[in-house]
Amino acid sequence: MGSIIDMQREYEPLKQLFQQEFSKMVAVISKLFGLQHIELAEDIVSETFLLAAETWGIKGIPPNPAGWLYTVAKQKTLYQFRRNKILEEKVIPELVISQHTEEEMTLQFTSQNIKDSQLQMLFAVCNPVIASEAQIGLALRILCGFGIDEIAEAFLSNKETINKRLFRAKEKLRTEKVEMEFPAENEIGERLDNVLRVIYLLFNEGYYSKTENKVLRQDLCLEAMRLAVMLTEYERTNLPSANALLALMCFHASRFNARLSQEDSLVLYDQQNENLWDKGLINQGLHYLKLSAAGNEITSYHLEARIAYWHCIKEDTEEKWQSILELYDRLLQINYSPSVALNRLFALYKVKGAEVALLETEKLKLENNHFYFIFLAELYKNIDHQQAKLHLQKAFSLAKTQAEKQGIQAKMDGLE
């Protein structure tokens, strides 16, 4: 049903409503009848929006659009499940359905049931039995309402590959008999860790996106933040790690508009216009950062959130960069990655200068990372112009997007 999703995104009055309601409706239907029928639930919701596009185009948008959608979805669901005899099998296989039983099985689009269903769907989609990349794809499709084309663009892939990946993931939900339910008390910590990891990766898909579509980049980040907010609104998942991740995303998202120039080239931190930072998001980040301080556990999200907080202070002070460097040192101890190691070296450069940073940077040898060569050029620019130029040329050849290439070209022009 990718076509209806693509169609509705072009039909402006439905666009925002679809983004808000698709995941709610699929979650409620799937909770009632089981994840083995998730594709039927998607079809029902897509058909509901198709009917809305046709009807509202003639009669206009009704006073309560969401209520209209819920009513139609209920009717379509009952018809579909009756026709496929799923309703009888779900209740009592041996007995004929009575009108009373049908009423009991009616979908409940109450605020609480929608919240519970979406949260249970989040844990189901992020079940470890599903491959990591497929979890992100399912989250985008089922929890965020993205179309196949958009998911393919986000992954720099094609529709056929994404469809196959989602099909395999849904098959896994069926064969492993994954239920839409909250994890047991003794499992909540481990299961939440995986959910947070998926949300973190989803946010990164937007924030460090290689797609040229600016709207899609921001949508990915906003959806990741929405899912994290959902976790903090439920008592059992409103834990320090969830608040730390949400703080981290708020701080990063606050600088979203300053990271791209009007020509869509990447603006590095030192050149960003502080007036373009979203002060409201920074304050929200501080709120969640304070909440994350409860308890004794320090996760990588806590450390990354503190680093992101310092980056929301524009002044170049010794205290700032020394604090960031120490935080990166701790982060590398619990969660080493080449990108974290590279980011740490920028803080080292700020604290101890280019020559000290250069010695450690050249040891990393991140030969396929264009940011690595951009940073090497930065370190060499006041030491050896020719080396700086060679590193920028290498970065240019590795860059994936036109925006990145434009930014690197501007640096090369600056060297000249």
The lowest-confidence range among 20-24, 181-185, 209-213, 389-393 is: 209-213
12 — pLDDT class (breaks 50, 70, 90): low
Residue in 237, 157, 162, 159 with CA at minimum distance from that of residue 199: 237
For residue 120, pLDDT beyond 80: yes
**398 close to 373: Cβ distance less than 8 angstroms:** yes
For residue 392, pLDDT beyond 80: yes
Residue in 345, 19, 401, 52 with CA at minimum distance from that of residue 211: 401
Dist CA 311 CA 298 (whole Å)? 20
Counting every residue, how long is the chain? 416
For residue 1, pLDDT beyond 90: no
What six digits make up the tokens of 90?
A: 């779900």
The lowest-confidence range among 78-92, 183-197, 253-267, 354-368 is: 78-92
For residue 100, pLDDT beyond 70: no
80 — pLDDT class (breaks 50, 70, 90): confident
pLDDT at residue 84, as a whole number = 66
Q: What is the pTM of this model?
A: 0.86
- Higher-pLDDT residue of 311, 212: 311
Helix (H) or strand (E) holding 68: helix 65-83
Helix (H) or strand (E) holding 53: helix 38-59
pLDDT at residue 33, as a whole number = 84
Per DSSP, which regions of 93-181 are E strands?
Answer: none
Mean pLDDT score of the chain = 87
For residue 86, pLDDT beyond 80: no
* Alpha-carbon radius of gyration of the chain: 24
What six digits make up the tokens of 30?
A: 């799937």
Alpha helices in 208-278 (DSSP H): 214-232, 240-254
Dist CA 352 CA 173 (whole Å)? 52
pLDDT at residue 97, as a whole number = 39
Q: Could you tell me which residues are beta bridge partners of residue 266?
A: 260
Alpha helices in 353-384 (DSSP H): 354-364, 370-380
Q: At what angle do helices 385-398 and 402-415 cross, to 10 degrees?
A: 170
Residue in 229, 197, 225 with CA at minimum distance from that of residue 133: 197
Helix (H) or strand (E) holding 300: helix 300-310
For residue 37, pLDDT beyond 80: yes
In percent, how much of the chain has pLDDT > 90?
Answer: 62
Q: What torsion, rounded to 10 degrees, do the Cα atoms 144, 150, 154, 157 define?
A: 130
For residue 2, pLDDT beyond 70: no
Indicate the burial class of 86 (C-beta count within 10 angstroms; 0-12, 13-18, 19 or more): middle
Per DSSP, which regions of 282-396 are E strands?
Answer: none
For residue 301, pLDDT beyond 70: yes
Hey, is 266 helix, strand or coil?
Answer: strand
